[in-house]
Structure 1
Amino acid sequence: MSAEAGMPGAEMAGAGGLGRFARRFAEDRVALFGLVLLLVIAGLALIAPFIAPQNPYDLARVDIMDSRQPPGARAGDGFTMWLGSDGVGRDLVSGILYGLRISLAVGLVSGLIAAAIGMTLGLVAAYAGGRTETLIMRLVDLQLSLPSVLVALILVALLGKGIDKIILALVIVQWAYYARTVRGSALVERRKEYVEAARSLGLSHARTVFRHILPNCLAPVIVIATVQTAHAISLEATLSFLGVGLPQTEPSLGVLIANGFQYMLSGKYWISFFPGIALLVTIVAINLVGDRLRDVLNPRLER
């Protein structure tokens, strides 16, 4: 019997397994609503250049005379600013659509890089054991013992503003979660018969780890990825709100919220309110999907 035949994740990888997965996910209407909402948000972010009334990056289109206009006001270019404008004259609908692009991109890119680093280190720690495992897990413990907001704040303050700096800071903050999760799952898988079969067949350590152990550790990683994506988006918004994240020329949702904070006491609530609602809805949609994925991928948690 080949090592592949003994893999417990083989059934889930087939078309039938994917069909059962989809049916079980769709049984929860709240989670299905969250998935549809998340797809709509992602779709709006992708087509933002085609549907946004204004390009908030184009300084030639932004008129300071349109600043702080209430919802429903007419812009100088003639279009209606349905959600009003911010302090520099940017249409809030356009700002939110473009801000979703940046916020989602930061969350997804940083999550993918952090997952790749964390899963690799977690697998190496579980498979190698000994001093290698001790060293990696002490680094993980050190990382997780520090508040993520504080670490990200210090890193961004040292690196400077910019989307690449934000992504690097979020990767450093997130990788330890993936490493600990994968290491725990890999320790269980390492003792199973299919791993022993792979070793007895003379397969290399890299092939055994990444071809056989890794696929059976992906279920908890998928759940962690949804949680960490929402966390990364909220953390980027926090850093931008504090003024150390993205610059004003890259209006993420956090930047848009920060732009309106100084006008809250003067009654210009819409400048921060609508971007805040967009951020809240995005994070809730991701968490609804992640919560259902946790139940589906772990039958013991099925309600």
Structure 2
Amino acid sequence: MTDMTSTSTPADMTAKVETPFQSFRSEFFESKIATVALGLLGVIILLAVLAPWITPQNPYDLGQVDVMDGRLAPGSEAFAGYTMWLGSDGAGRDLYSAILYGLRISLTVGVASGVIALLIGMTIGLVAAYAGGRIEAIIMRIVDLQLSFPASLVALMLVAALGKGVDKIILALVVAQWAYYARTVRATALVERNKEYVEAAQCLGLSRARIVFRHILPNCMAPLIVVGTVQTASAISLEATLSFLGVGLPQTEPSLGVLIANGFEYMLSGRYWISIFPGLALLLTVVSINLVGDQLRDVLNPRMKK
């Protein structure tokens, strides 16, 4: 008699079920553009972190800068003997060094303002969604009022009032951006608040804080991650804009916006590199962050896929 018992094939025995992280990773890297953007962003961050060790000078240390090296073309040799591959600006700063130091400040401002604005907006949005009633109405009217003004205008007014400096511009960007996070979290939390698991937690007598932060908040993280990447890129661009206008960071602080502004007056004289190279660094940084954010949106929200 033949054995009729079904047997498992080797393929069935070796098959593995993907974890959520593995599934997320495989879906994210389906896009070659997003993969390249993530790699480029990683290189940019690495160069910014290692700037003090891989640059020939600290461009904002007056003891290492020579005015005789001012406005040298790309590939010229500096007075100290090293090659300025990207040229120098009007003050004699090596542009390669200045760009990497500028990236450190730009990324710090963008990430710091984004994290602080996210924490503030997330908390306010959760309170509005869960409390409801008059509290929600008051909070959302404040959010609507905030969003009725362009973020650039709000940041410009605050920086003009507070003065120049990294801490001042971070504070201005936080005030200009927190409302975006609050509205996003509130909209997502409203959907989660009416689900059965929240009603079950209420029946068990769990505190409001535990329900909000342990149960509702984790389900709001997907849209927050997407908004966070977009707002980080926006904060970097806005900081560069304010610094270019002369109301952001002072001339003594490395910033891509300051570097672009320093070379703007030399554009018509043919010394394009002073503004072009910092502008390209800013463009690549912002575009790579936005492309990564777009792919995160598609992976975390499949309905957004084309």
Q: What is the distance in 2 between the residues matched to 1:233 and 1:76?
A: 33
Aligned match of 2:64? 61
Q: Deviations over 1:38-83 (max 9, x none)?
A: 0010011010111011101211001111111110111111110000
**TM-score, normalisation: structure 1:** 0.94
2:209 to 203, 206, 218: 206
2:82 to 79, 82, 85: 79
Kindly provide the amino acid, as one letter, of the partner of residue 36 in structure 1: G
Q: What is the distance in 2 between the residues matched to 1:302 and 1:134?
A: 33
Partner of 1:60, secondary structure, is helix
Per the TM alignment, residue 97 of structure 1 is displaced from its structure 2 partner at its CA by 0.4
Q: What is the distance in 2 between the residues matched to 1:107 and 1:177?
A: 15
Per the TM alignment, residue 302 of structure 1 is displaced from its structure 2 partner at its CA by 2.5
Kindly provide the amino acid, as one letter, of the partner of residue 175 in structure 2: I
Give ranges in structure 2 of 5+ residues lacking alignment.
1-17
Partner of 1:68, secondary structure, is coil
1:135 to 133, 138, 162: 138
Aligned match of 2:243? 240
**Paired residue total:** 289
Say yes or no: does 1:70 pair with 2:34.
no
1:228 to 231, 235, 239: 231
**TM-score, normalisation: structure 2:** 0.93
Kindly provide the amino acid, as one letter, of the partner of residue 211 in structure 2: T
Q: What is the distance in 2 between the residues matched to 1:57 and 1:84?
A: 16
Q: What is the distance in 2 between the residues matched to 1:53 and 1:232?
A: 29
Aligned match of 1:256? 259
- Taking only aligned residues, the RMSD between alpha carbons, in angstroms, comes to 0.8
Partner of 1:247, secondary structure, is coil
Aligned match of 1:36? 39
Q: What is the distance in 2 between the residues matched to 1:217 and 1:248?
A: 40
Aligned match of 1:19? 22
Name the structure, 1 or 2, with higher relative contact order (CA <8 Å, separation 6+).
1
Partner of 2:63, secondary structure, is coil
Q: What is the distance in 1 between the residues matched to 2:60 and 2:139?
A: 43
Q: What is the distance in 1 between the residues matched to 2:148 and 2:36?
A: 35
